[in-house]
């Protein structure tokens, strides 16, 4: 991206959202370590096949779903359970 790097954008995102899923697509393997330092969910080197792209998105969605399930709070009120 002109003007700033993806890692810089990710660091900025992390200042206000510690858990947002971040996925990097790049042709440069030199930034792989930095991407994990900002807790990126994945780092994919280009070029990427359609199959790898779909697999990567499916994997990311599964991780998001698992995280969402972890964040569920059940409140018991008058024997009724509510899921938030």
Architecture per CATH, domain 6-83, reads as 3-Layer(aba) Sandwich (3.40)
pLDDT per residue as tens digits for the range 8-65: 999 999 999 888 889 998 888 888 788 888 999 888 999 999 999 999 999 988 888 8
- Give yes or no for residue 83 having a pLDDT over 70: no
In the chain, what are the helix, strand and coil shares in percent, each to the nearest 5? 50, 20, 30
Provide CB contacts within 8 A for 55, sequence distance 6+: none
- Give yes or no for residue 81 having a pLDDT over 80: no
Is the full-model pTM beyond 0.85? no
Q: What is the pLDDT of residue 54?
A: 93
Q: Domain extents for the chain? A: 6-83
Q: What is the pLDDT of residue 74?
A: 57
């Amino acid at each position: 991206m002109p003007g700033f790097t993806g890692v810089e954008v990710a660091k900025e995102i992390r200042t206000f959202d510690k858990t947002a899923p971040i996925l990097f697509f790049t042709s440069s393997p030199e930034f792989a370590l930095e991407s994990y330092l900002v807790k990126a969910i994945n780092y994919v080197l280009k070029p990427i096949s359609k199959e790898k792209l779909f697999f990567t998105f499916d994997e990311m969605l599964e991780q998001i779903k698992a995280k969402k399930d972890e964040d569920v709070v059940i409140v018991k009120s008058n024997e009724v359970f509510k899921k938030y």
